[in-house]
Amino acid sequence: MAPDPRPAALTGNIGKARFFRSYLLRARKLLRDPAAIDELAQHARTKATGSSNSRIRELGERIKLLGRLVRAYANGSYREITVGNVVLIVAAILYFVTPIDLIPDAVPGAGLMDDATVLAFVLAKLEIELDRFSGWEKAQAIDAVSRG
């Protein structure tokens, strides 16, 4: 049985929200462009690292992991995840890097909280997928060392 290409993780309020659907549509298109995915991942890494929001900083390493996963998927080196879940990740990253969203980032105190909520939702829903990818990354590093 083939994996379901739809993002199975979209079962909560965020997945049903009209505002997030546009990000899912943009993510599907963006996933076809590895260079754009690289740029998006870099933008997310930069925003997470330099954020003044403590919740975003707490999620920083996981945000970087999301970026590495979508880059590996886009360049074809990692395919052990459904397309739907990759689209969900890309949509969450898009939401995070877009300054004008449900609550614009410029709103003091609350501006990045919606971004953190969307990211936390995706991270929680895809925890097993992210752990699997992290293990794959470690195995790739070990293989590279043993070959080199």
Which pLDDT does position 29 carry in this prediction?
94
- Residue 16 corresponds to which tokens in the numbers above? 């049903």
Q: How far apart are alpha carbons 148 and 22 in whole angstroms?
A: 44
Q: Quick one: angle between helices 127-147 and 113-125, nearest 10? A: 70
Percent of the chain with pLDDT strictly greater than 70: 80
Burial of 148 (0-12, 13-18, 19+ CB in 10 A): exposed
Q: 4 is written with which tokens?
A: 């379901």
pLDDT for the residue numbered 103: 66
Average pLDDT of the segment spanning 135-145: 88
Q: What angle do CA 89, 92, 93 make, to 5 degrees?
A: 85
pLDDT digits (tens, 9 = 90+) for 45-101: 998 888 877 888 888 889 999 999 999 999 999 999 999 999 999 999 998 888 776
- How far apart are the C-alpha atoms of 108 and 106, rounded to whole Å? 6
pLDDT reported for residue 3: 39
Give CA–CA dist 118/104, Å, rounded: 14
pTM of the prediction?
0.82
Confidence tier at 11 by pLDDT (50, 70, 90): very low
